[in-house]
Structure 1
């Protein structure tokens, strides 16, 4: 059975097979992703490139719906039209920010207290295009002193910013959303040059603008009141932490930039954000918009550099009260230890995954192969949610693998600034070497299959063609460790119990998927899979605006989404107000809970 959204006033799912047990309006995703429920209740996001989608936009209480179909693609049976959201594949690449490919290196400096400033010691590092090898930018390397300056600016700006009304704080957020939308093509090119992200699959500008626009009108912290204690009126307040920090990854910089920055600012905090040394260009372009958007100096401060210095300084800083980090488990451990050794910062983590997809023999095999292939090969495998482990029921394994390899083999690798390119290079030489090392390791323990994807004729140094491993032991490195490359392991299973056991045999738990025509089995698996997000007849990067994003086990702490992110950035305070001369027993009841 195949599930897909259908047109109308509700977002539902059309049953294509007479034997299916799944009804229209039953959710196709459980536990965190997909399109669920009526359009009039939730604005939705559907990120998978293989099916028609309906997006419901909640605009001032009115619902506006539109259907978007993903662009035809040589590696799958994608339907016609543009990539979801506002893809940069259908616009001219902007040049006002980055200029031509032969431009002089861009100077990228820190944004502190409303001004662009170099590092305190004047040091920079070079940023090279992973595709062409050209020097793209010279980036300021933040020192501990630079971190201190950024934190001091944020601390000075906090009283005035937090005292503003939600509407007043929302105005620059809304303006920034529009400026990002207007610069979508430039932002796409920035990531293409910095990390080899193809413009054909770029949706980050739309994603970021949506977050800033939503939180421009969502900053109304809710409190509660209670009259249950005689002689007292009790209430709870939601208040900002103060100076907060965000450390974002390189694979989707503006996605995580907006996911962390927008709710933190809307809640009344001021922020110090550290970009990844691999991908500072698109955040730098957004920095150029902050003053025009109307943010007061010191409210947003952005520094660049490597984690060993600036990331370490942020993690230990005594004036930072909350920190959100997306990245690797080892770095997350270091940050958690630093927070404990300093001031017990409130922490929000998303730390990656080793996501499984289970394909049963009653599934739509073509859809399962197409979507799982896209999940692991999209962005050259450099996504935290990628289904890097696929478990296929034995009776359909051979056909599934043949279909999967055919799709992977048809991917077009090449220049990430060209709209016909499906996959770009790995983000840099370090990432390329890491992926190649895992491939060599996998050859020792399993069967290697190369789908035959053609490498580019020029500038192929950092490209890794899709790789499929078969018959890998469950305890092998390539099955246990996050590779962050276009490398997938496909193993077989016989029973549902076996599939769930091996799928859960990991310390990660970000995303999982199950393909089946049996709704009862789908729900059993959705409940049993140890992951923060579970796709039923869909897989990553499927997502919904209103669903929590985050993982079980070592994949993270906390959840992010339009509806949940405000909780990450607000303290809870209980206030007890004596009214009407409470007696001693009432005070005792209040303080001791008797």
Structure 2
């Protein structure tokens, strides 16, 4: 499948098979049975998508924000109408339970905001240089590429497309090979919404083909990616080696949560367990490291285990199911490898195996205790329902452990002491800090992104737009 936009301007938006007719098989992770044959975009298809976006850019960028926004408003309506179908497509492609599907609603809200946000792209003026009226202009890059992840694909599709289009860019979006179905559906909705040909182009396929081609493409002026740090590094290298394209990255995490003795322990246990259990732990900001004060460690660990294992695994298309499979066999085997390393280095306190009685890639909620801070499962992103809980005695000690990581996406602290909470908010090396809350808690109007190896730049309704705009200085002698 390729998408609306891989056409010339005289044609209507359309879907195309891959130029070489190549496909790849998509299997349901819940049953291990095939659910779809998906077209594999070639380098030629990728070049055609970029060419279509480049051809569409002059007319799209010349539209008023109101005219661009009208298409986005229509698409937001269609997303809301399609929420149930999108949820089932996600369940079948990567195992996300429909019971916890919120993506279409939040994506529509983002799109409704960006439909009017183009009016905010203002420059500045200055009379401070004698004899001159000087100004800055905010102008779009041209062709933007977006490579989105498989764990929350509809949200990331819109989170990147919305500000890019509002800024006046055109875009090529590559979906993940693990979860291409909802992107294909959104492409159909884009077609239904009447977007002009070439404005939005959607490619399905693997990163080493179409993703690499986008990263190296000389006509792509800016690229945004959400996913693993390893892939982010490859994209940044390609961007530098080609045309030094601008990058916006949200990468992995190894997010810590710190629990003090004065915390609401029941809330802390419930929320930290949910952070790891949501989407079967396949979330970049999941608090996979939990540090609990020695004065309440036994009580907290008992509460955490009770809440963490209270799941209903099964067919993710059923509304009562709360725990789905891992996305595919690769992810399943990666998590099992880390669990074996955890058994070697730490103390297994819960889970540690496949969930019996299910044909799919189901992993038990797993807890390790007393794991050395330099162990692989403490340092590396597992992306599954696996948590390490360690005990600490002092603030100084736990801050060192919290920050002893190359990741810095999300961190949290549970305490009733507001002065302590603010010390931690300042000291934690993370793009987001939760006080008496943890991931996936966020705020619609706040920025999101990471410190250190967890990303470059920030995304959010008041922050994304600048990432998709160039600033030009104009000097006018008067």
TM range (shorter): over 0.9
> Is 2:445 aligned against 1:550?
no
Match of residue 226 from structure 2: 326
Q: Is the counterpart of residue 440 in structure 1 residue 332 in structure 2? A: no
Contact persistence 1:272–1:301 (CA under 8 A) = yes
Aligned to 1:309: 209
Residue 454 of structure 1, CA deviation:
9.3
Aligned to 2:67: 168
Work out whether 1:133 is the aligned partner of 2:22.
no
CA deviation vs aligned residue, 1:264-318 (integer Å, no higher than 9, x gap): 0011000000000000111111111112212100000000100111111000000
Tell whether 2:108 aligns with 1:209: yes
Q: Which runs of 5+ in 1 are unaligned?
A: 1-107, 580-594
1:354 aligned residue (229, 254, 272): 254
Give the alignment partner of residue 408 of structure 2, picking from 503, 509, 513. 509
Alpha-carbon separation, structure 2, partners of 1:110 and 1:219: 25
**Alignment pair present for 1:155 and 2:39:** no
* Residues 456 and 371 of structure 1, relative CA distance in 2, 3 Å threshold: same
1:142 aligned onto 2:41: yes
**SS where residue 337 of structure 2 aligns?**
helix
Tell whether 2:163 aligns with 1:263.
Answer: yes
Describe how 1:211-226 pairs up with structure 2 within 5 A.
Answer: 211-220=110-119, 221-226=121-126
2:98 aligned partner? 199
Q: 2:299 aligns to what?
A: 399
Any idea what SS the aligned residue of 1:563 has? coil
Distance 1:171 1:315 in 2: 30
Matches within 5 A, 1:574-593: 574-579=473-478
Q: What is the CA-CA distance between 1:132 and the residue it aligns to?
A: 1.5
> Residues 429-474 of structure 1: CA distance to partner in whole angstroms, max 9, x if unpaired?
1100000000001111110012599936332x41000100000000
Q: For residue 564 of structure 1, what is the aligned residue in structure 2?
A: 463
Question: Runs of at least 4 residues of structure 1 off by over 3 A?
Answer: 108-111, 451-456
Any idea what SS the aligned residue of 1:361 has? coil
The question of whether the paired residues in 2 share the 8 Å contact of 1:411 and 1:453 is answered with: no
- Measured after TM superposition, the shift of residue 212 of structure 1 is 1.0
Q: What is the CA distance between 1:539 and its match in structure 2?
A: 0.1
Aligned to 1:310, the other structure's residue is in SS state: helix
| Partner deviation per Cα, 1:510-552 (whole Å, 9 max, x = no partner) | 0000000000000000000000000000000000011110000
5 Å matches for 1:167-566? 167-220=66-119, 221-450=121-350, 455=355, 457-459=357-359, 461-566=360-465
Give the RMSD, CA atoms, in angstroms. Answer: 1.1
**Contact 1:236 1:574 (8 Å CA) reproduced:** yes
Matched pairs, number: 471
Deviation string, structure 1 residues 233-254 (Cα, Å, up to 9, x no partner): 0000000000010000000001
On the 8 A contact 1:359/1:392 being kept in 2, the answer is yes
The separation in 1 between residues aligned to 2:294 and 2:251, in whole angstroms, is 32
Pick the structure with more helix per residue.
2
CA shift for structure 1 position 334: 0.7
Q: 2: distance between equivalents of 1:489 and 1:199?
A: 28
Give 1:258 shift.
0.7
Aligned to 2:10: none
CA contact (8 A) 2:173 2:203 kept: yes
Contact 1:413-1:456 at 8 Å conserved across structures: no
Distance in 2 (CA, whole Å) between partners of 1:452 and 1:438 is: 10
Q: In structure 2, how many angstroms separate the alpha carbons of the residues matched to 1:558 and 1:188?
A: 29
Specify the SS of the correspondent of 1:386.
coil
Distance (whole Å) between structure 1 residues aligned to residue 138 and residue 3 of structure 2: 31
3-state secondary structure, aligned to 1:217: helix
Structure showing greater radius of gyration is: 1
- Confirm or deny: 8 A CA contact 2:354 2:363 kept in the other structure: no
- The CA distance in 2 between the partners of 1:545 and 1:450, in whole Å, is 35
Shift of 1:110: 3.8
Is the 1:410–1:453 Cα contact (8 Å) retained in structure 2? Answer: no
Q: Distance in 1 between matches of 2:389 and 2:357?
A: 29
- CA distance in 2: counterparts of 1:452 and 1:261, whole angstroms: 39
Work out the CA distance in 2 between the residues paired with 1:349 and 1:388. 21
